[in-house]
Amino acid sequence: EGNPKWAEFSRDQFVMNNARSSVSGEFVDPNCSVAPISLYLADHKAETLSRVVDAVNAFTARYDTGDFEILQAAGNAGIEAATNMTIQQSEKTMLILVFVIISLVVLWEFRSLKVTFALMAPLYLSTVLCEAVMAKMGLGVKIATLPVIALGVGIGVDYGIYLYSRIE
């Protein structure tokens, strides 16, 4: 009784307007031109956030008449979803750029394609294995796990260069 989770939406506009009147003034502006919708998610996993974003996009495509504007989420879940989408779109480009830049620096320092390949092959392999282990453990590439990958690449490069310098 009284739990808004089980409330129904009325088809009567006056009833709907009255239902919003009990909402705190900080959530609705005086002329009711902004009306946020809050969603409570079970978790903030990438799959859940992606499903919510897809549902909002489908709803927008179907019901947006141009009379109003439907915006994507804000708050923790919205920021996390936007971050995940940005990472997903730019991850491969970023990795390619990192490997190219590191390869050029190693090539410039040691002036040998063989050495460059010898130092870059384990680095590439460790990056692929790191992503495979993360996928197996259910850890996606997101803002919280990016430093782990970056640290692995950095340590791999440093240690490889150190070993080669000592052997040379």
Q: How high is the mean pLDDT of the chain?
A: 80
* % helix, strand, coil for the chain, step of 5: 65, 0, 35
d(CA 125, CA 102) in angstroms, rounded, equals 15
> What three-state secondary structure class fits 38?
coil
| pLDDT, tens digit, 9 for 90 and up, residues 16-59 | 777 655 555 666 677 767 777 778 888 888 788 889 889 988 98
φ, ψ of residue 167 to 5 degrees: the values are -70, -40
Q: pTM for the complete prediction?
A: 0.61
| pLDDT, tens digit, 9 for 90 and up, residues 74-110 | 778 888 888 888 888 888 898 889 889 989 998 998 8
Task: Quote the pLDDT of residue 113.
Answer: 93
Record the tokens describing residue 126, joined without a space.
């460790």
Using a pLDDT cut of 70, give the percent of the chain over it.
Answer: 88
Task: Quote the pLDDT of residue 104.
Answer: 94
* CA-based max dimension of the chain: 82
Alpha-carbon Rg for the chain in angstroms: 25
Dihedral (CA of 136, 138, 142, 146) sign: negative
